[in-house]
Amino acid sequence: VSDEENWYCECPKLYTGKLCQFATCEENPCGNGATCFPKSRRDAVCLCPYGRSGIICSEAINITQPSFSGIDVFGYTSFLAYSTIPNITFYYEFRLKFQLANHHSALQDNLIFFTGQKGQGLNGDDFLELGLRNGRVVYSYNLGSGTATIISKALDLTLNVHVIHLGRNLQKGWLKVDDQKNRTVTSPGRLVGLNVFSQFYLGGYREYTPELLPKGPRFKNSFQGCIFEAQVRTSLNQGFKSPGTPEGHPNSGRSVGQCKDSPCSLIKCRNGGKCIETGSTV
């Protein structure tokens, strides 16, 4: 005699268990502050926070060179969020290096970094953003009286690592990419200060939809690849520093791994030069 049961519960969406007694994410299997996402009637997926990996985010990983996976199947982007960068109002310089994971999708419409918010400013929103569009680097900012944008020449895809250096002094902005010529722009209108209160987002954004961002930075996708040594300074006579409080430490993140490559494994110094890694985190 078979004592197998001759019934089963077909569970409605988002419920699971023998009697459909569990909401998939109610009995949250994800640990360590992960985001639980109901994948199907029987299954949940854990989107891991910064410093964690694995199916239920149980493994700790040390991230010195962040690797961004991009947008997952649920539409959430990988990102790192750092504390607001102080004293950025009138002057800043950023520099970073990056390696693309996949030339085809990583160059279409991808955010590299962003800070800003909706609803501030007279003529739109104050923001600062950097991204990739159609194989070129795009740098935009709005001080509240209109957007300034610089677009680089197409990236040389034979380079393994790309180097970006950009800045702004009052209304004047500039962008230098790899060995390309420095390009400059002046923002429209009269305003000269960048008033941003948001965190500094690297590689993506916390929001589910880009529509929640200010009008300018509507990069549809997040970054795909590795970002090395993102650094900033807010006056000419200070040194560059990694973002974050304490320095180099993000407040939060999602779906970020450790890059397999290090910058020195990818960069070949010429004429007998020796590559030395500065390390972006302490």
* DSSP letter string, 17-54: STTS-EETTTT----TTPEEEE-SSS-EEEEPBTTEES
User: Is 269 within 8 Å of 275 (Cβ atoms)?
Assistant: yes
pLDDT of residue 29: 74
pLDDT of residue 41: 60
CATH of segment(s) 79-259: 2.60.120.200
pLDDT of residue 206: 77
Instruction: Kindly give the parts of the chain with pLDDT less than 50.
Output: 1-3, 121-122, 280-282
- Separation of alpha carbons 51 and 57, rounded Å: 9
In words, the CATH class of domain 9-61 is mainly beta
Best CA proximity match to 130, nearest among 103, 156, 168: 168
What pTM was computed for the model?
0.80
Residue 246: is the preceding peptide bond cis (ω within 30°)?
Answer: yes
pLDDT of residue 13: 66
Domain limits, CATH 2.10.25.10, in the chain? 9-61
